[in-house]
Chain A
Amino acid sequence: MRNATTHCRYAEDVNPAFPAEIMAKLGGEALRDCIQCGTCSGACPMSVHMDLTPRQLIALTRSGLERDVLQSATPWLCASCYECQVRCPRGIKVTDVMYAIKRRAIEKGLYPKRFPIPVLARSFHDMVARHGRNSESRLVIQLALKTNPLGLLRMPPLGIRLLRTGRMVLGQERVKNREQLKAMLDAVEES
């Protein structure tokens, strides 16, 4: 993936409304207070695997470079461990900002398409919206079918071990009152 920070920037790359959009999301309010100290990047156990460090992602967000931010793998690699958020000296809810960026990337269809993490999020979301519960084994199999069908061939040893120890449930878990759950979710509007 190209390194966004080394590219020349022109006015047409900037969406001036983008910073305010992210700041309007839950937990995004304090983004303006960032002093670019890099504590978040230093604390992050995943930053070595990211195309942009959390600090860079915040800088680009505040500059309105929407496309670079939404196409980045960084928010999807965030494991939600909240270490950056707890350590941030400016009280920025960095993990929540990552969630806000993920949702925006999905809305705009700009997330990294071949990346299995948004695919998992989508399958998980759909399963829960439909059944009210998630069945881990089914989710894993669905994910493999969508991203790496050949990988399924390598999975049996772990699957067999889980089955043998009674830790794999193949049936779909569901709530009894699915109508109630659906009615509730339908009644909540996203903004």
Chain B
Amino acid sequence: MTTYTYYPGCSLTGLGKPYDESLRAVFGHLELVLEELEDWNCCGATSYMSLRQQKAVALAARNLALAEQTGRELVAPCAACYLVLIKAQHAIAEYPHVAEKVRRGLTTAGLSYSGRLSVRHPLDILVNDVDPALITAKVVRPLADFRVAPYYGCQVIRPYGTFDDPLRPSSLDRLMRLLGATVVDYPLKARCCGGSLMGTMEDIGIRLNFLLLKEAKSRGANVVTTVCPLCQFNLEAYQDKMTHTFKEDVHLSVAYFTQLMGIAFGLRPAALGLHRNFVTAAPLPVTA
């Protein structure tokens, strides 16, 4: 039994709630314990860094310092949080003048950070820490009717490529095959969904996500799986509008990879937050 320190981030308490629920359920089922980081703060995402640089590093570093005190690895499921935390680690390690400013800020707050903390994405843990044989053994309902387009998006793999290739990733493909799913060839698997641009420049966001869904459909997928709350929302929430705008039906279920794992493990759909997804057509179980 391994215990990790858990950094849910702001999204997983709101938009990404089904991600939080399914992640906890799947980790629990594999006897991996998630202990939430006490009094974590926002990572700063892309917006904070657009205004302040050193403060943005310090903002992320407060979480690193708090997490280091727990003596365990830190799990960050949101792609933006995951990248920002790792980026802050790089900034501190590579730029002495930044490290000095951050150190001063943390000291003022009664905190310190040595740089030894390891920040992990749950996909990394499930693929690299968990024995594939254990996952196979837990599959009670193989995903035989699932033709999955594995969508990695951007920030889980780029720029650092911590556990997978930053342009041609394959870890999620392998995980889906362990569950008995068919993985379709999906060349746009690492193409950006636009992130927060959906909220600011909706026409651009809709076009990007339309292309992603259209490609998944044309490759024969009946579900897209994601590893990031923003990707999941962008792909799922505007399907009516995309279909209307581009006069092409792109309705497709978009589920978190942890939801698909939970389905394969035979966990209850409600425990996986499936009732919170907007689109739950076959092959996802009916939740109504």
Q: Please report A residues at the B interface, Cβ cutoff 8 Å.
A: 25-26, 45-46, 49, 77, 79-83, 85-87, 93, 95, 99-100, 102-103, 106, 116-118, 120-122, 124-125, 128, 132-137, 140, 143, 158, 161-162, 165-169, 173, 175-177, 180-181, 183-191
Given contact pairs A184-B105, A185-B58, A187-B108, A99 touches B50 in the complex (Cβ within 8 A): yes
Contact call B200/A169, Cβ cutoff below 8 A? no
Contact call A80/B195, Cβ cutoff below 8 A? yes
The 9 closest A-B pairs by CB, nearest first: A81-B192, A124-B47, A81-B154, A82-B158, A184-B109, A187-B108, A82-B159, A188-B105, A132-B41
Asked whether B150 is an interface residue with its Cβ less than 8 Å from the other chain, the reply is no
Beyond A49-B201, A116-B201, A143-B199: 11 further Cβ-contacts under 8 Å? A81-B158, A81-B191, A86-B161, A87-B167, A125-B51, A132-B42, A136-B14, A162-B15, A167-B15, A167-B16, A185-B58
Asked whether B226 is an interface residue with its Cβ less than 8 Å from the other chain, the reply is no
CB-CB under 8 A from A85, the residues of chain B are 158-159
Contact call B50/A45, Cβ cutoff below 8 A? no
Given contact pairs A140-B199, A161-B278, A190 touches B158 in the complex (Cβ within 8 A): no
Given contact pairs A116-B200, A132-B42, A133-B42, A185 touches B14 in the complex (Cβ within 8 A): no
Return the CB mask of B119-160 against A: 1 if under 8 Å, else 0: 000000000000000000000000000000000011100110
Contact call B278/A165, Cβ cutoff below 8 A? yes
Most buried by A among B39, B155, B237: B39
Closest to A177 in B: B39
Contact call B54/A45, Cβ cutoff below 8 A? no
Contact call B41/A181, Cβ cutoff below 8 A? yes
Docked Cα-Cα span, A134 to B39, in Å, equals: 14
Contact call B39/A190, Cβ cutoff below 8 A? no
Given contact pairs A99-B53, A128-B48, A188-B55, A169 touches B14 in the complex (Cβ within 8 A): yes
Contact call A180/B275, Cβ cutoff below 8 A? no
Asked whether B24 is an interface residue with its Cβ less than 8 Å from the other chain, the reply is no
Distance (Å) between the CB of A38 and the closest chain B CB? 17
